[in-house]
Amino acid sequence: MAVYTEVTDDALAAFLEGYDIGRMVAFRGIAEGVENSNYSLRTTEGDFILTLYERRVDPADLPWFLGLMEHLAAKSLPCPLPVRARDGANLNPLAGRIAAITTFLPGVWPRRPTVAHCGPLGAAMARMHLAGEDYAPTRANALGPQGWPPLLARCGDSGDAVRPGLTGEVRTALDATLAAWPGALPRGHIHADLFPDNVFFLDHAISGLIDFYFAATDLYAYDIAVCLNAWCFEPDFSFNITKSRALLRGYQAVRPLSAAETEALPVLCRGAAIRFLLTRLYDWINTPDDALVTRKDPLDYYWRLRFHLQAGSAADYGV
Amino acid sequence: MAVYTEVTDDALAAFLEGYDIGRMVAFRGIAEGVENSNYSLRTTEGDFILTLYERRVDPADLPWFLGLMEHLAAKSLPCPLPVRARDGANLNPLAGRIAAITTFLPGVWPRRPTVAHCGPLGAAMARMHLAGEDYAPTRANALGPQGWPPLLARCGDSGDAVRPGLTGEVRTALDATLAAWPGALPRGHIHADLFPDNVFFLDHAISGLIDFYFAATDLYAYDIAVCLNAWCFEPDFSFNITKSRALLRGYQAVRPLSAAETEALPVLCRGAAIRFLLTRLYDWINTPDDALVTRKDPLDYYWRLRFHLQAGSAADYGV
């Protein structure tokens, strides 16, 4: 639920004067998104999203994110297209923040992902990977494997308050996962956070991929591993291999996986589960009780990790 | 920030089948509104707001609220028009709640109300009062004067933790206010919560009055008193008589106040300040620390009350 920064009418009017997108018709805060403030903006020319970047986003990364979105949108990927102001800038100051206007995408994110969502998701992710191949700038994945040990260290022993023994279990799993981490797999630009609330569907087809603010240059197959975690577990944390199979088939219909990528799926899935477990644990212990955001339970990813730890091979994911 | 109830795609699709408003194009949670869950809904036919009524709203009151909105909209007041389903019902079950679809209104609510907003606000409120005159059903104001003593009692001495002596001060002011409360002023349907976030402006004109879920049948001049509290104080709690004068002039250009209404303004303003002080105090002590809503400071209305207590006559409000 995200409107952290209020924008006054005067500030908004002055901001919009820099753009060639008509006069304002409506402006409403959007309840979705956790990291930034998002507004739905309607003008006489159409519908847009206004995003004010909040503290967690490094302003130095913004040109890379927006450049990637522009690159992908130009290749007809259904992602938000940053709108440039009259002076050509796609990032401008507003209400003490840096802000961007992007195009509005139709559709609805699936509150209850089904098998029918997973095939189109896999295909769209593969198209995104291919479309990004000739976007030259790179961005290191701050929340990739090398970021996990310091994140665990910053959590101290706080995991044990969430579940006795959690810190030790995660440390053991992390050590083993990093030792087995594949180095030579195909790399490129990945979304790295393609959860259901970042994927819009309309009439059973994908109509939007949004929120590229964790995107980075990393292993393509790691992006798949994030999605296997995010889309293929049921509310009781049981793994749904039918969803996984649909996701992987959808992906491979567009970009076939190499044998090495397929083999690496279990360890990549372990890593992805650890990544979300750790960031949720860190947020859990660092979110003030009166914050406006709902804290997400780190154990959701502990149970996923347990599945991945017992998965012997890619066959357990339906490949 | 208000999305308390999540709606699955399937539930929404089934719900929309009952309406003749086209197929869904987009569906996003709205960050505004505190009491209910609100979604912006776009269909192939246009834009709508979907509201799911949460616990604070008595379902028995909903037909009255929606009937009033329908009545006012039919008289061209810019308020949301409830959309009726194919079977004629404007209230239908969804996701374990009662829900309604209303028309979308353009505009933006003023984050920083200025004098220029207050004249149109007064005029729109007066038009609303006149337009409601022939809406026959009535609704007692549960948060009117007779509701304040029990509300104060339920707060116990908790006010003293917010500010030493607060409970006693409020009790004294409440007793004096109720003793002086005018009984015979013109009555009708009032909004009773016409704060800036419930009033949309577009090109300096009012484009929407929303959120009628505190509306009731009560003194017209009390509605004005609520607005004098909500619109005419600066962030440092100083009273801005220029705003007040503009609001009252705007109102009286449409519906002139009787001498008795004018005279009663100071006591009505005291009552309105007490009403918001008490509900905020009650929420302050009863909102869990981890709730998604921002608690509003009850003292904001203590400072307003202090102004109203020293106001000698309507002249202090610019009449």
- B176 and B248 housed in the same domain: yes
- A121 and A96 housed in the same domain: no
Express each pLDDT in A217-249 by its tens digit.
999 999 999 999 999 999 999 999 999 999 999
Residue at which a domain ends, from B74, B103, B132: B103
pLDDT score, position B8: 87
Judging contacts by C-beta atoms under 8 Å, the chain B residues touching residue A26 are 104-108, 200, 202
Angle subtended by helix axes B166-179 and B299-310, to nearest 10? 50
List residues bridging with B93 in a β-sheet.
Answer: B98
User: Is there a contact between B192 and B216 (Cβ–Cβ < 8 Å)?
Assistant: yes
Query: Long-range contacts of range B228-231, CB-CB < 8 Å, 24 or more positions apart?
Result: B228/B265, B228/B269, B228/B272, B228/B317, B229/B269, B229/B272, B229/B273, B229/B276, B229/B301, B229/B304, B230/B194, B230/B195, B230/B196, B231/B113, B231/B117, B231/B118, B231/B121, B231/B195, B231/B196
Instruction: Give the distance from residue B202's alpha carbon to the nearest chain A alpha carbon, in angstroms.
Output: 7
Q: How many domains does chain B have?
A: 2
A202–B8 C-beta distance less than 8 A: no
* Facing B31 at nearest CB: one of A1, A10, A294: A1
pLDDT score, position A2: 61
Please state, as a whole number, how many other Cβ atoms lie within 10 Å of the Cβ of residue A126.
Answer: 21
Q: Is B110 touching A (CB cutoff 8 A)? A: yes
CATH number at residue B16: 3.30.200.20
Judging contacts by C-beta atoms under 8 Å, the chain A residues touching residue B104 are 26
Judging contacts by C-beta atoms under 8 Å, the chain B residues touching residue A112 are 8-10
**Mean pLDDT in chain B?**
94
CB–CB contacts below 8 A, A to B? 97
Residue at which a domain ends, from A79, A103, A127: A103
If contacts are CB pairs under 8 Å, which of residues 17-56 in chain B contact chain A?
23-32, 40, 42
Q: Is B134 touching A (CB cutoff 8 A)? A: no
pLDDT band for B1, please (50, 70, 90 cuts): very low
pLDDT score, position A290: 53
B29–A30 C-beta distance less than 8 A: yes
A32–B29 C-beta distance less than 8 A: yes
- B94 and B135 housed in the same domain: no
pLDDT score, position B279: 95
Q: Let me know if residue A52 belongs to a domain.
A: yes
- A76 and A126 housed in the same domain: no
Instruction: Give the distance from residue B187's alpha carbon to the nearest chain A alpha carbon, in angstroms.
Output: 34
- B18 and B153 housed in the same domain: no
Whether pLDDT at A8 is above 60: yes
Whether pLDDT at A294 is above 90: no
Q: What is the mean pLDDT of residues A6-21?
A: 91
Residue B52 has phi, psi (to 5 degrees) of -105, 125
Query: SS3 of A48, please?
Result: strand
CATH number at residue B225: 3.90.1200.10
- B281 and B136 housed in the same domain: yes
H helices of chain A, in order, are 9-17, 62-74, 115-131, 148-155, 159-162, 166-179, 220-231, 241-254, 259-286, 299-310
- A236 and A135 housed in the same domain: yes
Express each pLDDT in B74-123 by its tens digit.
999 999 999 999 999 999 999 999 999 999 999 999 999 999 999 999 99
Instruction: Give the distance from residue B226's alpha carbon to the nearest chain A alpha carbon, in angstroms.
Output: 23
User: Is there a contact between A80 and A100 (Cβ–Cβ < 8 Å)?
Assistant: no
pLDDT score, position B293: 56
A292–B106 C-beta distance less than 8 A: no
B28–A32 C-beta distance less than 8 A: yes
pLDDT score, position A293: 57
pLDDT band for A295, please (50, 70, 90 cuts): confident
Interface test with A, best of B6, B111, B114, B295 (most A CBs within 10 A): B111
- B176 and B265 housed in the same domain: yes
pLDDT score, position B183: 84
pLDDT band for B47, please (50, 70, 90 cuts): very high
pLDDT score, position A292: 53
- A71 and A205 housed in the same domain: no
Whether pLDDT at B297 is above 80: yes
A112–B31 C-beta distance less than 8 A: no
Q: Let me know if residue A179 belongs to a domain.
A: yes
pLDDT band for A10, please (50, 70, 90 cuts): confident
pLDDT band for A317, please (50, 70, 90 cuts): very high
Nearest CA in chain A to B208: A26
B292–A294 C-beta distance less than 8 A: yes
Q: Let me know if residue B108 belongs to a domain.
A: no
Whether pLDDT at B289 is above 70: no
Q: Let me know if residue A265 belongs to a domain.
A: yes
Interface test with B, best of A108, A207, A297 (most B CBs within 10 A): A108
A292–B289 C-beta distance less than 8 A: no
Judging contacts by C-beta atoms under 8 Å, the chain B residues touching residue A31 are 1-3, 28-31
Judging contacts by C-beta atoms under 8 Å, the chain A residues touching residue B202 are 24-26
Q: Let me know if residue B110 belongs to a domain.
A: no
Express each pLDDT in B130-152 by its tens digit.
999 999 999 999 999 999 999 99
* Facing B40 at nearest CB: one of A40, A203, A295: A40
- A96 and A20 housed in the same domain: yes
Angle subtended by helix axes A166-179 and A259-286, to nearest 10? 150
Whether pLDDT at B168 is above 60: yes
| Torsion region of A218: left, alpha or beta (phi above 0 gives left; psi -120 to 50 gives alpha) | beta
- B255 and B194 housed in the same domain: yes
Q: Is B15 touching A (CB cutoff 8 A)? A: no
- A199 and A300 housed in the same domain: yes
Residue A190 has phi, psi (to 5 degrees) of -120, 155
pLDDT score, position B295: 72
A9–B106 C-beta distance less than 8 A: no
A111–B1 C-beta distance less than 8 A: no
B40–A28 C-beta distance less than 8 A: yes
A289–B289 C-beta distance less than 8 A: yes
Instruction: Give the distance from residue B278's alpha carbon to the nearest chain A alpha carbon, in angstroms.
Output: 21
Instruction: Give the distance from residue A280's alpha carbon to the nearest chain B alpha carbon, in angstroms.
Output: 16
In the numeric block, the tokens 């139709």 are attached to A106
Q: Which domain holds residue B13?
A: 9-103
Interface test with B, best of A109, A111, A202, A296 (most B CBs within 10 A): A111
